Every structure is written in C-alpha cells, then in structure tokens.
Amino acid sequence: MSLKLKKENIDEAVRTIMELGGKGILNCVQCGACSAVCPGVKAGFPVLCRLLIKKLTTGQLEEIIEEPSSWGCQACNRCTEVCPQGVRPQEVVFAFRRYQANEMAISTSTTTSQMNFYETGHAVYTESSKELRKQVGLPEAPPTTVSDAQGLKEIQTLLENSPMGELGFF
C-alpha cells in the first residue's frame, strides 16, 4: 500500500517543527548518517533522526504524537556533527518533543524535574545533599538559588511568564 501524502498535512507538520526550532528539516535527503551514529537508535528507540524526519516530512505529525522515542534522545548531537546537509537533526527531535510536550504527550519522568526546578531552581535536588555537602567540608547549600531568595524569585518569574507556566507543573 502506498502512502498517500496530503499537502496540507505536510505543510502543517513542517511549519510546526520549524517554528518550534527545527529550522533545517527541509534540507534532509534521508541519507541516514544521523541514525547510524545515534545511541538512541542503537538502544532501540526507532523513531529518531532519519525516521522521525521522514515521518514529519510526510505529514505524520499527529500520528506519532505518543511516540516515546524523542524522550529517549540524549541530545548528544552526534547527528548534528555528521549531517552533511546542515539539518541539525537534534534540533528537529527537540522541536518534535516541544510539540509533544505542548500537547501533554510527555514522558512522566519529567514531572519531578519541573517541580524541583520551580521550587529550588534546580531540576535535580535532594534534601539529603545538605548532609553530603557538610561531610566533604562544604557549606550545606551551594551559592545558587537554593541559598539566594532573590535568584529563586527571578527563576520563578521567568517560568511563570513562559508557556511552561500554563502546563500545570507548578
């Protein structure tokens, strides 16, 4: 069965990805150099790099909205380094991830990070770090937003005024 391509679907998918940061998507010639070096593809996440771009440039943006592969992307940029066409495939993967996130098709693993980020200014934070820090001879809090109320207020203001503020994490 051949895939029937609808021009309006293709245009919409490509426009969405470009607006979300994947500016080079139309340069892709499907050579597969990106997938050949991708640790995500090697680990078994199928819809990354070449295949993700193929699906997007054939207008399948909505059909793959629940696809978890993009959340397995390491953002390592091996793909960007080897791409002979200047696609910057990792930017396309993250643009697609942003599309998924804004439709709430997110990996559950991100929820705690967002809450930590808003509450402390750090995606990774644990109370037990205070003891660890003292144990190695450091003050119990580093000089970051965890010990700087003004700095924390600034980051909370930025988050509240970003589209992330509307997603209900914090």
Q: Rounded to an integer, what distance in angstroms lies between the CA atom of residue 77 and that of residue 62?
A: 25
- Give the residue from 116, 97, 95, 117 showing the smallest Cα distance to 106: 97
Q: Rounded to an integer, what distance in angstroms lies between the CA atom of residue 84 and that of residue 31?
A: 9
Asked if 125 interacts with another protein (CB under 8 A), we say: yes
Q: Which of 6, 30, 103, 107 is the binder for another protein (CB under 8 A)?
A: 107
Q: Rounded to an integer, what distance in angstroms lies between the CA atom of residue 99 and that of residue 66?
A: 11
Distance of CA 103 to CAs 21, 35, 112, 119, 167, Å? 16, 26, 18, 24, 9
Element (H, E) at 8: helix 7-19
Asked if 3 interacts with another protein (CB under 8 A), we say: no
Site for another protein in 61-80 (CB under 8 A): 68, 71-78, 80
Which segment (4-12, 27-35, 53-61, 160-168) binds another protein by CB under 8 A?
Answer: 160-168
Q: Rounded to an integer, what distance in angstroms lies between the CA atom of residue 115 and that of residue 140?
A: 21
5/76 with CB nearer another protein: 76
2/135 with CB nearer another protein: 135
Q: In angstroms, what is the minimal distance from the CB of 74 to another protein?
A: 5
Q: In angstroms, what is the minimal distance from the CB of 57 to another protein?
A: 20
Q: Which residues bind another protein (CB under 8 A)?
A: 20-21, 39-40, 42-45, 68, 71-78, 80-81, 88, 90, 94, 97-98, 101-102, 106-107, 109-110, 113-114, 117, 121-126, 129, 132-133, 135-138, 142-145, 148, 150-155, 157-159, 161-164, 167
